[in-house]
Structure 1
Amino acid sequence: MRRLFIMDQKDYDNSWNRYKRPSVRGIIIKNNKVAMVYSRKFDYYKFPGGGIENGEDHITTLKRELTEETGLTISENTITQYGSALRIQKSRFVENEIFEQENFYYLCGTFSDAGKQALDEYEADEGFELQFVEPEYAISVNRTHDHSDYDAHLIERESRVLESLVKDRLL
């Protein structure tokens, strides 16, 4: 899969332990709008998806995460690779640890409209909801609204992927 970009904060010591958390994200486009998960609590947009669990392949994780976060059912034969974004930074939770996350983005189609979400506790607390939005709007919200102390690097990563989709004329 092609690498879209690297976000390396260089705010760590290379001698620290490295925690790798690969993730998959789904890109669903309908009528020049993109399916995004909106956080009502922190006022930002992200692509639906999440971490790859032990023993899962990318497609299994993608289908599970998108169904949980959006209620949408992914049509497996529509899934195609788009690109990855590598994020490296000091852990926000563990002292003297490097957090490394490769995010694999896939274009995909769905069978039907959204069904019922199956959010975990933190997702429900954030008020995750599916919205189809124009990419410029999501980028604007992500870059100009106050997100409290939420993860600014995650929010910027999603904005950069949206910009890449626009540049590639997919949106």
Structure 2
Amino acid sequence: MKLLCCHVHPDVEHIESKQIIQRLATRAIAMHGQDILLLYTERYHDYSLPGGGLDEGEDHIAGLIRELQEETGAQHIRDIQPFGCYEEYRPWHKDQANVIHMLSYCFTCQVDRELGPTRFEAYEIKNGMKPVWINIHTAIEHNIKTMKESPKKGLSIERETFLLQLIAQQLC
């Protein structure tokens, strides 16, 4: 899969001396015209692509489908195609590590516009996550404003906004 970007968070210095863990994730790009299926997270006041970490040994496509169904209730997931991989290094404060090396494998797909029930994890419910169909340009503008003005922004907003801008350029 082609590399879309390699981003090193500004707080990660002297990476060679850090304890690094790696996480593999998938991200779904499901669109209907200019509308894209995203997750709005109240805690961080941002929009992000549905997806998440792969279980150990889990196939990328199987993980994508699982995450998409859990987080959005997407139905009839089909026509899955690779879009690209976003690589990042960012601060991490768990598992005896201080840096996480995340590889987010992004795939385009088609899903029915009508969504079924979600199966959020407890932390996702606590963070106020909800699936939404939204105009991609509106979501980009919202995230850019959040990055500039909100003290609530999370660490993934730069990745998500980069991906949304790239998707808008290449798929809209």
Q: TM-score, normalised by structure 1?
A: 0.89
Contact kept, 8 Å, 1:66 with 1:74, in 2: the verdict is: no
- Secondary structure of 1:100's match? strand
Structure 1 residues 41 and 89 mapped into 2: Cα distance closer, same or farther (>3 Å)? closer
Contact kept, 8 Å, 2:19 with 2:96, in 1: the verdict is: no
Shift of 1:122: 0.8
Paired positions, count: 168
Q: Using the alignment, how far apart are the partners of 2:103 and 2:116 within structure 1?
A: 28
Shift of 1:139: 1.4
Q: Using the alignment, how far apart are the partners of 2:42 and 2:90 within structure 1?
A: 26
1:24 corresponds in structure 2 to: 26
Q: Using the alignment, how far apart are the partners of 2:13 and 2:100 within structure 1?
A: 9
Query: Are 1:138 and 2:115 matched, yes or no?
Result: no
- Secondary structure of 1:28's match? strand
2:47 corresponds in structure 1 to: 45
Q: Using the alignment, how far apart are the partners of 1:125 and 1:66 within structure 2?
A: 19
- Secondary structure of 2:77's match? strand
Contact kept, 8 Å, 2:26 with 2:53, in 1: the verdict is: yes
Structure 1 residues 92 and 144 mapped into 2: Cα distance closer, same or farther (>3 Å)? farther
Code of the aligned partner of 2:44: F
- Secondary structure of 2:107's match? strand
- Secondary structure of 2:162's match? helix
1:166 is aligned, of 162, 165, 168, to 168
Contact kept, 8 Å, 2:43 with 2:127, in 1: the verdict is: yes
Gapped runs of 5+ residues in structure 1? none
- Secondary structure of 1:22's match? strand
1:73 corresponds in structure 2 to: 75
Code of the aligned partner of 2:71: E
- Secondary structure of 1:21's match? strand
Matches within 5 A, 1:82-161: 82-93=83-94, 97-111=98-112, 113-145=114-146, 146-152=149-155, 154-161=156-163
Shift of 1:92: 4.3
Q: TM-score, normalised by structure 2?
A: 0.89
RMSD (Å), alpha carbons: 1.8
1:55 corresponds in structure 2 to: 57
Query: Are 1:4 and 2:4 matched, yes or no?
Result: yes
Contact kept, 8 Å, 1:19 with 1:98, in 2: the verdict is: yes
Q: Using the alignment, how far apart are the partners of 2:17 and 2:8 within structure 1?
A: 16
